[in-house]
Every structure is written in C-alpha cells, then in structure tokens.
Structure 1
C-alpha cells in the first residue's frame, strides 16, 4: 500500500479480511483477535488503517494447493463446528436424562440449536465455494 491516506475500497477490505482469515488458519491469530480485526477491517476508511491490521502478521503466504485441509474447511470453521457439536451433544444428553427421569418424555428442546446450525451450514458452503473458486477447481 503506497499511500496510507488513500481511501480503501471494498476489494481492499476483503483482501485484508482474507489475510486475517489465513492468519487464523496458520495459528497466528486466535478467533477473538480475528473477530476484532475483521470488524475493524470492514470499518476501515484508509489503506493505512488496513495495513496496520496486518502489519504484525508474517509475510502473506498463499494457501498451498498441495496440502488442502481434508474437508476443505478453514481451521476456524472446523473449530466453530466442533464447539457447536459439543454444546449440542451436552444439550441432548441433558434432555435424555430429564426425559428418562420423567414419566412422560420432555419436548425435544435441543431443537432450538438447529437454526444456528443451518446458518453455520450456509457459511460453510460459502467457504467451500470460495476456496474452490480461489483454487480454480470446478464443481
């Protein structure tokens, strides 16, 4: 970025967000830092503000086409799915325990966790599609 005072475009903000996502996948940022920085990236007005968000990260490395993740998912997305699955499993276990203890089974209240899973599934599909498009693979 040559001039720090030049206004940033949407493409500049998206590039900074992608670099931050790559930093999470590399283990350079945790999810809290990623969340904070991505929010700042999309609120940035100048290229200098974007440069400051990635200045402490290692050189921009591209994803290696030889070593894609097994499911094609970014590490952060795998972590979010894992967290959701653990919470869902605990909720189902509690529901089972409550239902067994009562004469009449309780309503399946863990179903309230399914809408967030649907949203997460849409985000996952978008991430897979973005990775496929970036790598030049076809459907």
Structure 2
C-alpha cells in the first residue's frame, strides 16, 4: 500500500484494512473504542495512503499456527462402538440365560451382530487411516 499512497482506495482495500484492524483487536493491540474509530475512518478513506496510516502503528500480522489435524478414533465412532458392545453383551447374556433355562445350549443367535461389527471395524480402520494421513500431510 505504501508505494501508491495517492492512488484512490478501492472497496477491497478498505475491507482489507478493516480486517487488519479486526485482527489487531483479537491480538489485543487495539481496544474496541479505537477499533471503532479507525474502522470508521477506514471506510471513509479516499486514498491508499490514508488506509496505510490507520494500520502503520500495528505490528506485522501474525500467522496463526495451524491447528493439528485430529488423529485417532473420533468420539462419534467410539460412541457407536460402545453401543454395539453393549448390544452384543446384552444379547450374549440373554442367550446364556435362555440356554441355561432350557437345559441345553441354543443356537448362538448373537452371531447376527458380528457382521455389523465387521462393517464397523472397516469404517473405523478407514477413518483412523484417513485422519492419520491428514495429520502426516500437515506436518
């Protein structure tokens, strides 16, 4: 901006200055009253030089540190696994109780819950792998 101080400012230039002022508030460099004053002057600025003066005393813009991509098993998937495990456990207990009450072991009908468990295992493996790869790319 400094090289063309006398050039008329565009709306994009004004928006960029207002955004820099907003970031200065987040960084603690400006209070709200000063921000309000400067942003009003930014949108009323005619030249790029006027905009440059509004942000000249602010430190260089800090780049936010990238947040690490989540790794491991997501919470929702852990909840689904917990639900499946409870359902399987209840079915096994009921099967065992019925088998004991009948005096002979019945067909193990909780085995019907094994295919959904296999699908859940495949989904978990894919999700964990995708999240691990995203973390590796971010490093």
TM-score bin (small chain): 0.3 to 0.5
Could you tell me the TM-score, scaled by structure 2's length? 0.48
When Rg is computed on C-alpha atoms for both structures, the one with the higher figure is 2
Q: Normalising by the residue count of structure 1, what TM-score does the alignment of the two structures yield?
A: 0.48
